[in-house]
Copies of this chain bind each other. A is one copy, B any other.
Amino acid sequence: MAYSVSIEDVTSAATRLEGVVKRTPVVSSEDINAIAGREVLLKCENLQHVGAFKFRGASNAVIRLGDAAESGVCTHSSGNHAQALALAAKLRRIPAYIVMPRSAPRVKVMGVRSHDAEITFCEPNLAARESTASEIIERTDSTLIHPYDNPDVIAGQGTASMELFEQAGALDAIVAPVGGGGLISGTSITTKSLHPDTRIFGAEPEGADDAARSLEAGEFIPQTEPDTICDGLLTSMGNHTWPIIRDHLEKIVRVSDEQVVEAMRLVLDNLGMIVEPSGAASLAAVLTPEFKSLEGIDRVGVILSGGNIDSLPF
């Protein structure tokens, strides 16, 4: 089956993003390895520009726009894609119009503002976000850069796992969080092509487990009324991401908010780094009894997807 994104798209994105995105560290902690019962290689996208992997996809999409970018770009996002697009637009000297839910973390709002983007606040639901963005696009003639359901965005996100394999070598499994599915889709395309034997897992909050339910049902189920501290993982999947997720993931592991907080604490105590709830979800998944009981996984790659929080939940 043909997907919206190919490994060639990810490879091109990696070339396009040279010198633009940061090659983030891959670290490990002896104590976290001991708790996980295996070697855990953590890809630190919390140390990416704007503090999240989102800068990869946003930059790739903006650069790919070429002259069409002149009227600016627009998006709706709970925060990290908003910051990422704002910075990507600033670097290209084009306007960025950002729709954010009123509930977005302050640190993310301030990040968007610091990159000179124009912010419009709306109610924290997908319908309000999309309609507000549509009005702005009509008024400004800007181009929508969807936070995840955009092939250029997905290809850009795929570069994170491409780097991880370059840095860590072969992995028995790779785990990324699932919100709209941009990161896990890019991760899937990269992994399937470069390391077809590596098992691919998603991590999702119990309170926003649309992807897990969809994967189990074999059909797309949208997310309604999410309830989790993982503010970056609230949304439904998209038309481009769902088929990739459906066909590549072995399993989506559900994690409770308590497990996410525990993973955040472990990262701070054992690596001296602060990660946001959504960013810790993949490590939380690796530390569940469910994942720990899996056999044949000696080395697992985990994407710490972001590090922007207002305050520590502990």
**Could you tell me which A residues sit within 8 Å of B by CB distance?**
25-31, 34, 41, 44, 46-47, 167-169, 269-273
Contact = CB atoms under 8 A, between A and B. Distances in A.
B30 A167 contact: yes
Contacts of A31: 25-26, 167
Contacts of A44: 272
Contacts of A269: 25
Contact of A273 (B26, B30, B270, B272): B272
Contact of A27 (B27, B167, B168): B27
5 contacts: A25-B272, A28-B28, A28-B30, A44-B272, A47-B272
- Kindly list the 7 A-B residue pairs having the minimum CB-CB distance in the complex, ordered from nearest: A26-B30, A25-B270, A30-B167, A47-B272, A30-B168, A27-B29, A28-B28
A35 to B, nearest CB: 12
Nearest to A169: B30
Q: What copy number does this chain have within its complex? A: 2
Nearest to A25: B270
A190 B269 CA distance: 24
A272 to B, nearest CB: 5
B271 A25 contact: yes
A258 B279 CA distance: 35
Contacts of A270: 25, 27
A31 B23 CA distance: 10
Contacts of A26: 29-31
A175 B44 CA distance: 26
Contacts of A273: 272
A25 B34 CA distance: 12
